[in-house]
Amino acid sequence: MTLPAPKLPHYRRLYEMLRKQIIDGVFTEDDLLPSENELCAIHGLTRPTVRHALDALVNEGFIGKHQGKGSIVQKLPKGIGILSIAGTTSALGGKNLRSELLVKPYVKAWDDPFMFKLSETELNSGCIHMERIRYYNDKPIFYDINFIPNINVPRFTSRSFENNSLFDVLRNAYQVEIKGGEQKIRAIEASATISQHLAVKSGHPVLHLERKFDTNKPGFFIYSSIYCNTEEQAVYGIF
Amino acid sequence: MTLPAPKLPHYRRLYEMLRKQIIDGVFTEDDLLPSENELCAIHGLTRPTVRHALDALVNEGFIGKHQGKGSIVQKLPKGIGILSIAGTTSALGGKNLRSELLVKPYVKAWDDPFMFKLSETELNSGCIHMERIRYYNDKPIFYDINFIPNINVPRFTSRSFENNSLFDVLRNAYQVEIKGGEQKIRAIEASATISQHLAVKSGHPVLHLERKFDTNKPGFFIYSSIYCNTEEQAVYGIF
DNA sequence: ACATTAAACTTGTATATACAAGTAATTATG
DNA sequence: CATAATTACTTGTATATACAAGTTTAATGT
């Protein structure tokens, strides 16, 4: 995984700029973006190049194009793969949501057996293991165990993750983006350990998800095992 | 929801043709598609038009493009939103999987309250309600309740669904395609009704998913409530 | 003041052309 | 026969141009 090229293609620069403007709130839902012709004039680019950038924004769910009318900003796409609490709008950041690092990231060999089949490269690199508890209204609702292949993620173990999205860190510091993934879901009876972490009675039903995230880096996946207490709130996810 | 236009744009016709060839097995995983120049010659189109079709195939996960090498067919994208059993490769069709209609599709008013907020149009149209049980090795594992808005789906209630994917029927008969969606997941104790349908003891943990599927038709969503027995096999899904 | 028509805007589709950058195949050389 | 160089292929990026089709705005007529 190399550092990004210092020179991005024109269409990509425009795409990143517009994307950032939407995320930063410069354009918000239902706003019209500058027209294709305006963007050509502003950036000294041609329509096919501008359209290429806009197509990418459409594909990622940031805007919708309407012939004759313009490019309209949509509600910020909720991250595919991010779990939250039904009824809240973000995984973290709401006043009643907070996250606590239970086990700081450290490098270890993969658990054997592991929940998903691993490639040779992954097996040889070991993984970074970390555990977090997420609280809603001071009640533990998620017990989250992450396994990140120790491939090209220098100084990962020294980063701070409390109240930070793991995915944001990966995107901003390592240019790793989540593209989707697969998951195995079970309803299980809470074991002694799980009931301790999630503050439920032993034997109480809890949700268990084993997830494998695809990223924009070929061959680089992120793994996660999550236990959830859904007694009061359902777990919410986009797929 | 209108019928598709009799005349498709060139790029779209090429996209649909290549997509069908991949699905039908004319091209299989790891095959090289004809090059862009070859497709231009074969179809009397220009490279930007051909590339537009190929870009759509990339976006949907059918192919990957490799500079200098060619366009390579990928494993058929597993339907987003389709649930299956961990370890099997399709929702239905495997020898050990079969589906049984418990309640034939019929038109009714929406349950009130309903698991997701409904639009005015949806409320006024009523929904088509149907219930199925899915078996794995003759054991009931899914109890699936679907709610399809009664909007532009003529003669839906007279179709046969046993051993047919609801999504395939929607795509082939009504040009409705699933684009993703959202879900609320809970681990619950099986009620008397659920334990009867899924052949588990009352009070045993079962999975409950409430799902809202986005489609290619603006404003048209499909809803589903699924109870799953995950005692022996996890539920598997792509997101 | 309102309705109708025309003009001016928007995105959608498509062709044409050129050069950059990566990979595979062919040819030349030792 | 092996290796290196060259050629020929591939996709990637970008400009230029034109017309179609949908929507909004401005002008005109009553």
Least confidently predicted of B18-22, B34-38, B42-46, B158-162: B158-162
Residue B56 lies in a domain: yes
Residue A78 lies in a domain: no
Closest CA to A1 of A173, A180, A211, A179: A173
Residue B3 lies in a domain: no
Of A28, A43, A73, the position where a domain reaches its end is A73
Considering the domain architecture, whether residues B68 and B95 belong to the same structural domain is answered as no
Residue B46 lies in a domain: yes
> Which residues of chain A make contact with B237, given a CB cutoff of 8 A?
182-183, 185, 239
Considering the domain architecture, whether residues A123 and A182 belong to the same structural domain is answered as yes
Whether residue B153 is predicted with pLDDT greater than 90 in this model: the reply is no
Domain of residue A94: give its range: 83-237
Q: Which CATH number goes with the domain that contains A39?
A: 1.10.10.10
Considering the domain architecture, whether residues B109 and B208 belong to the same structural domain is answered as yes
CA separation for the pair B184, A90 (Å, rounded): 14
Residue A1 lies in a domain: no
> Which residues of chain A make contact with B141, given a CB cutoff of 8 A?
none
Closest CA to B101 of B139, B148, B146: B146
Least confidently predicted of B17-26, B81-90, B164-173: B81-90
If pLDDT is split at 50, 70 and 90, which confidence band does A5 have?
very low
Cβ–Cβ contact A230 with B under 8 A: yes
Considering the domain architecture, whether residues B122 and B232 belong to the same structural domain is answered as yes
Considering the domain architecture, whether residues A67 and A159 belong to the same structural domain is answered as no
Name A77's Cβ contacts closer than 8 Å, sequence gap at least 6.
Answer: A60, A61, A62
B36 CB less than 7 Å from any atom of strand D: yes
Whether residue A87 is predicted with pLDDT greater than 70 in this model: the reply is no
> Which residues of chain B make contact with A209, given a CB cutoff of 8 A?
185
Q: How many Å from the N-terminal Cα to the C-terminal Cα in chain B? A: 27
- State the DSSP code for A42: H
Tokens of A150: 């120790």
Whether residue B232 is predicted with pLDDT greater than 80 in this model: the reply is yes
Whether residue A85 is predicted with pLDDT greater than 60 in this model: the reply is yes
The beta-carbon neighbor of A182 closest among B187, B209, B237 is: B237
Considering the domain architecture, whether residues A171 and A95 belong to the same structural domain is answered as yes
Considering the domain architecture, whether residues B35 and B143 belong to the same structural domain is answered as no
Query: Using an 8 Å Cβ cutoff, are A110 and A93 in contact?
Result: no
Q: Which CATH number goes with the domain that contains B130?
A: 3.40.1410.10
Of B28, B48, B73, the position where a domain reaches its end is B73
CA separation for the pair A7, A135 (Å, rounded): 42
> Which residues of chain A make contact with B210, given a CB cutoff of 8 A?
234
Considering the domain architecture, whether residues A89 and A65 belong to the same structural domain is answered as no
Count of positions (residues) in chain B: 239
Count of positions (residues) in chain A: 239
Residue B2 lies in a domain: no
Query: Mean pLDDT in chain B?
Result: 86
CA separation for the pair B229, B216 (Å, rounded): 31
The beta-carbon neighbor of B181 closest among A230, A235, A239 is: A239
Residues facing residue B181 across a β-bridge:
B213
If pLDDT is split at 50, 70 and 90, which confidence band does A86 have?
confident
Considering the domain architecture, whether residues B104 and B218 belong to the same structural domain is answered as yes
In terms of average pLDDT, the best of A170-174, A234-238, B58-62, B214-218 is: B58-62
If pLDDT is split at 50, 70 and 90, which confidence band does A51 have?
very high
Whether residue B3 is predicted with pLDDT greater than 70 in this model: the reply is no
Cβ–Cβ contact A185 with B under 8 A: yes
Report CA(B30)–C1'(C19) in Å, whole number.
30
Half-sphere exposure (Cβ direction) of A10: Cα atoms closer than 13 Å: 13
Whether residue A48 is predicted with pLDDT greater than 90 in this model: the reply is yes
Residue A5 lies in a domain: no
8 Å CB contact of B80 and A236? no
Tokens of A35: 């027209």
Of B30, B53, B73, the position where a domain reaches its end is B73
At A163 the pLDDT is 58
Residue B32 lies in a domain: yes
At B1 the pLDDT is 37
Q: Which nucleotides of D are covered by protein (CB under 7 A)?
A: 9-18, 21-24
CA separation for the pair B172, B165 (Å, rounded): 11
If pLDDT is split at 50, 70 and 90, which confidence band does A138 have?
confident
At B228 the pLDDT is 94
Report CA(A50)–C1'(D10) in Å, whole number.
25
Complex ipTM, two decimals? 0.76
Domains in chain B, number: 2
If pLDDT is split at 50, 70 and 90, which confidence band does B130 have?
very high
If pLDDT is split at 50, 70 and 90, which confidence band does A150 have?
confident
8 Å CB contact of A235 and B81? no
Considering the domain architecture, whether residues A101 and A58 belong to the same structural domain is answered as no
At A3 the pLDDT is 41
Q: Which residues in window 6-35 of A are less than 7 A from strand D by Cβ?
A: 9-12
Query: pLDDT digits over A179-198, tens only?
Result: 788 899 999 999 999 999 99
Q: Across residues A133-146, what is the average pLDDT?
A: 90
Chain A closest-CA separation from residue B70 CA (Å): 17
Whether residue B92 is predicted with pLDDT greater than 60 in this model: the reply is no
At B93 the pLDDT is 45
Considering the domain architecture, whether residues B206 and B102 belong to the same structural domain is answered as yes
- Written as one string, the DSSP assignment of A194-235 is HHHHHT--TT-EEEEEEEEEEESSTT-EEEEEEEE--SSS-E
Least confidently predicted of A9-18, A166-175, B105-114, B208-217: A166-175
Considering the domain architecture, whether residues B90 and B174 belong to the same structural domain is answered as yes
A-B contacts (CB, under 8 Å) = 97
More confident residue, B217 or B103: B103
